[in-house]
């Protein structure tokens, strides 16, 4: 019969104790991780939420009522313009359709403006050529009609017409309506050549001097003045 020495016994005991501690620590770590995970899910209700309804293209008042039934709020964050859509309808929403949110969440929307946006007329009248004006107007979203030519420097912008009336730099007009440039045709207005010049009713300087010299002046003309010398 083999008798285990005390040294060997304590060595095996220490080895089992060490591995047992390590195993226990691993179990504790796993349990803590699972507890934190499930605890957070319970606290935040990760699997619970209200799916956001689709309110795009819906009237704002109707969308507001629909969201309030689900405990959600609505707020206008921006406006746009689509002439094919009715005024005050919703063009976009954030968060999007189907997104799960908590009760009390605010849904931000972009609504359709009741009128088209207006743009300030750039300083092009009597300030640039046709090519420059067309580039500036097109960049602002205007549609251009065929230009109207009037007397003036060729292809120089002399005016701008919108909806049948002349507009000036700084006026705000809608981009829904096309504009028409007034351009010079290279010919100039010769109306000033037809003016009739009328002789002046007042005498000229030469006539005035002549009358003065020919008149009967007791004091004499310029040659009748007496020369007086000063004291010596």
- Taking only Cα atoms into account, the Rg of the chain, rounded to an integer number of angstroms, comes to 48
Helix (H) or strand (E) holding 111: strand 106-112
What is the band of 222 on the pLDDT scale with cuts at 50, 70, 90? Answer: very low
Please, what are the domains in the chain? 50-112 (3.30.10.20), 118-184 (3.30.10.20)
Q: Which residues face 156 on adjacent strands?
A: 129
The pLDDT of residue 14 is: 60
The pLDDT of residue 159 is: 95
**Could you report the per-residue pLDDT of 196-212, keeping only the tens digit for each?**
555 555 555 555 555 55
Average pLDDT score over the chain:
80
Tell me what percent of the residues of the chain surpass a pLDDT of 70.
68
pLDDT exceeds 70 at position 144: yes
**Could you report the per-residue pLDDT of 3-61, keeping only the tens digit for each?**
555 555 556 656 666 667 777 888 888 888 877 777 666 655 555 689 999 999 999 99
**Which residues, in sequence order, are CB contacts of 143 under 8 Å at separation 6+?**
175, 178, 179
For 72, 129, 143, 151, the CA distances from 156, given in Å and listed in that order, are 58, 5, 19, 10
The pLDDT of residue 92 is: 95
The pLDDT of residue 30 is: 85
The pLDDT of residue 181 is: 97
């Amino acid at each position: 019969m083999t008798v285990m020495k005390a040294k060997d016994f304590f060595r095996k005991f220490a080895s089992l104790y060490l591995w047992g501690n390590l195993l226990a620590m691993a179990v504790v770590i796993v349990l803590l991780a699972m507890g934190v995970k499930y605890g957070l899910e319970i606290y935040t209700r990760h699997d619970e939420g209200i799916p956001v309804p689709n309110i795009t293209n819906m009237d704002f008042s109707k969308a507001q009522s629909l969201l309030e039934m689900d405990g959600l709020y609505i707020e206008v964050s921006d406006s746009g313009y689509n002439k094919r859509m009715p005024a005050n309808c919703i063009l976009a929403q954030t968060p999007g359709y189907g997104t799960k949110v908590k009760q009390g969440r605010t849904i931000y929307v972009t609504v359709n403006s009741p009128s088209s946006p207006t743009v300030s007329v750039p300083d092009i009248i009597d300030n640039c050529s046709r090519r420059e004006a067309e580039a500036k107007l097109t960049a602002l979203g205007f549609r251009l009609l065929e230009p109207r030519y009037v007397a003036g420097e060729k292809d120089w912008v002399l005016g701008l017409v919108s909806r049948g009336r002349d507009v000036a730099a700084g006026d705000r007009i809608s981009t829904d309506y096309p504009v028409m440039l007034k351009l010079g045709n290279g010919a100039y207005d010769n109306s000033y050549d037809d003016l009739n010049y009328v002789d002046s009713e007042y005498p000229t300087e030469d006539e005035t001097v002549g009358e003065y010299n020919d008149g009967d002046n007791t004091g004499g003309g310029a040659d009748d003045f007496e020369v007086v010398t000063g004291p010596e």
